[in-house]
Amino acid sequence: MLLFDLVNARKAHFSPNTWRVRMALAHKGIDFTVQDVRFVDIAGIRPQGDSIGHKLTIPTIQNDGMWVTDSWEIVHYLDDAFADTPRLINTGADESVLRFFQYWAQTTLHSGIFRNIVLDLYLGLDPADQPYFRDSREKILHDTLENAQAGRQDRMDAFRKSLQPMRLALANGPFICGNQPGYADYLAFGAFQWARVASPLQLLAHDDVVSTWLNRCLDLYDGMGRRESAAVDDLLDDSMR
Amino acid sequence: MLLFDLVNARKAHFSPNTWRVRMALAHKGIDFTVQDVRFVDIAGIRPQGDSIGHKLTIPTIQNDGMWVTDSWEIVHYLDDAFADTPRLINTGADESVLRFFQYWAQTTLHSGIFRNIVLDLYLGLDPADQPYFRDSREKILHDTLENAQAGRQDRMDAFRKSLQPMRLALANGPFICGNQPGYADYLAFGAFQWARVASPLQLLAHDDVVSTWLNRCLDLYDGMGRRESAAVDDLLDDSMR
């Protein structure tokens, strides 16, 4: 099992969607090796076979000669190919409601976080990746990375407020999925781990139950998430926040 | 099967949480009769037995001498007591993720709608219910009903934007739960039906996929939801919007 994953200049893995897959692999007890890539390397990697298009996207796994891309498709593949491991995505209405959770994470967590760490993400990248990142992200933002990230402290209250459904869920048990972590936890974890690895910004108040949950997720699977070191404050110049 | 439900002055059923239960009963093909109550009637109804506390809350069902209250508990009870009907709430992680959806509906749909229809809700009530409603809701709002509802057109964009995860889900199929409606659909439907029955406010743009979905839900079970008549504009004085 080979997992392709993006690294920044200090070789840290920041991709939120790959973190979903890493946690899914660990949940199932599947050993895997990682092939680190930068954005500039991706075009040079040509997946073999028909199961993936011609352009590599991250995350992608390669297993038994099979290439699978897109985190949702990968987890489906893992559920089917490793049928004796605990399933992460069930069928029917349960699958659809879990997919809704992914859309919530995408529109609330990813979108809420992106603008607040986008310059930090850029500053942390290998210099060879910076031109592509700036160009593509500024097109999405219709603004410079500097302007987009500016004023993030003023947006913090609204972001924290948007986590209210997670807080209500976490009042029922240690994980969003109840007593044990499940794929909804990994979907949300990916977003917070992205922020943690790429930016020194303190997204959560220390006494927030979401912060307690995040620490619990970082401890899972022998601290797999926590071993990926967090961005530290002195990497960045205060004037750039 | 007896369902207690609130009515307003024109005997329309507006309770969002009771609509969840009505749809769940119809989904399972369980016949039921309704006992209409006003807020002022509730104190006079004393449920028998130990399965409910001393205060009647809406929704409550009575079946086979058993009283069950709270929409989530009621649906659990229906899943267990009518085990040969399609289940609405599964177990483990699937139950927890569905419960997250309920929290999302509560914090995004209910909270987003409440302020925008609260004066209309009041104006539609039986006069005997109005003092209780005004008093209790103004305590929650820390404001008068009139002030709370004022300016709702300015809040419409933010509310519609908050529905984005529903739109992404509805790109995959006709219902949030996929090809067939499920409890997540009924949770969201309850919120929109509450607004439809209590207020002439047009919450959704006609070309919004959420509006198409809502019409689909209103048609379910021989148009059960649509038979509950919508609030009409001329019930209310324009100066009160």
Q: Give residue-wise pLDDT tens across range A83-96.
A: 999 999 999 999 99
Q: Is the peptide bond between B59 and the residue preceding it cis, with omega within 30 degrees of 0?
A: yes
Least confident of A13-22, A37-46, A202-211, B156-165: A37-46
Strand partners, B178: B175
**Does the distance separating the beta carbons of B165 and A106 come in below 8 Å?**
yes
What's the rounded Cα separation, in Å, for the pair A17 and B118?
41
**Beta pairing class for A66-69 and A2-6:** unpaired
Q: How confident is the model at residue B237 (pLDDT cuts 50, 70, 90)?
A: very low
What's the rounded Cα separation, in Å, for the pair B57 and B45?
10
Mean pLDDT of B70-83: 97
pLDDT at B241 over 50: no
- CATH architecture entry for B92-240: Up-down Bundle (1.20)
Mean pLDDT of A148-154: 96
Distance of CA A45 to the CA centre of its chain: 22
Mean pLDDT of B120-144: 97
pLDDT at B66 over 80: yes
Contact A184, A161 (CB under 8 A): no
Q: Which residue of A has its CA nearest to B164?
A: A107
- Measured between CA atoms, how close is B87 to chain A, in angstroms? 11
Cα dihedral value B204, B209, B212, B213, nearest 10: -100
Smallest CA-to-CA distance from B97 within A209, A87, A192, A93 is with A93
Most B CBs within 10 A among A94, A111, A170, A179, hence the mutation to make, goes to A94
What's the rounded Cα separation, in Å, for the pair A33 and A16?
18
Q: Which residue of A has its CA nearest to B183?
A: A93
Domain boundaries, chain B: 2-81, 92-240
Mean pLDDT of B31-51: 83
What are phi and psi for residue B138, nearest 5 degrees? -70, -30
- pTM here? 0.94
| Summary mean pLDDT of chain A | 93
Give me the percent of chain A exceeding a pLDDT of 90.
Answer: 88
DSSP character at residue B234: G
User: B76: left (phi > 0), else alpha (psi -120 to 50), else beta?
Assistant: alpha
In A35-144, which ranges are continuous DSSP H helix? 39-42, 71-81, 92-104, 111-124, 130-141
Contact B52, B12 (CB under 8 A): no
What does the angle CA B155 – CA B157 – CA B158 come to, to the nearest 5 degrees?
A: 70
Q: How confident is the model at residue A228 (pLDDT cuts 50, 70, 90)?
A: very high
Contacts of B96 in chain A (CB under 8 A): 169, 172-173, 175-178, 182, 184
Contacts of B95 in chain A (CB under 8 A): 178
Q: Please provide the distance, in angstroms rounded to a whole number, between the alpha carbons at the two ends of chain B.
A: 39
Mean pLDDT of A201-220: 96
Q: How confident is the model at residue B99 (pLDDT cuts 50, 70, 90)?
A: very high
- Superfamily of domain A2-81, CATH level 4: Glutaredoxin (3.40.30.10)
Angle of helix A111-124 relative to helix A152-161, nearest 10 degrees?
140
DSSP character at residue B125: S
pLDDT at B43 over 70: yes
Mean pLDDT of A62-76: 94
| CB pairs < 8 Å spanning A and B | 99
The residues of A whose Cβ lies within 8 A of any Cβ of B are: 90, 92-101, 103-104, 106-108, 164-166, 168-169, 172-173, 175-178, 180, 182-184
Q: What is the pLDDT of residue A45?
A: 79
Most A CBs within 10 A among B89, B96, B108, hence the mutation to make, goes to B96
**Does the distance separating the beta carbons of A95 and B178 come in below 8 Å?**
yes
Q: Is the peptide bond between A181 and the residue preceding it cis, with omega within 30 degrees of 0?
A: no
- Measured between CA atoms, how close is A126 to chain B, in angstroms? 34
Higher-scoring residue by pLDDT: A76, A239:
A76
Q: What is the pLDDT of residue A238?
A: 46
Q: Which residue of B has its CA nearest to A182?
A: B93
Smallest CA-to-CA distance from A102 within A170, A188, A174 is with A188
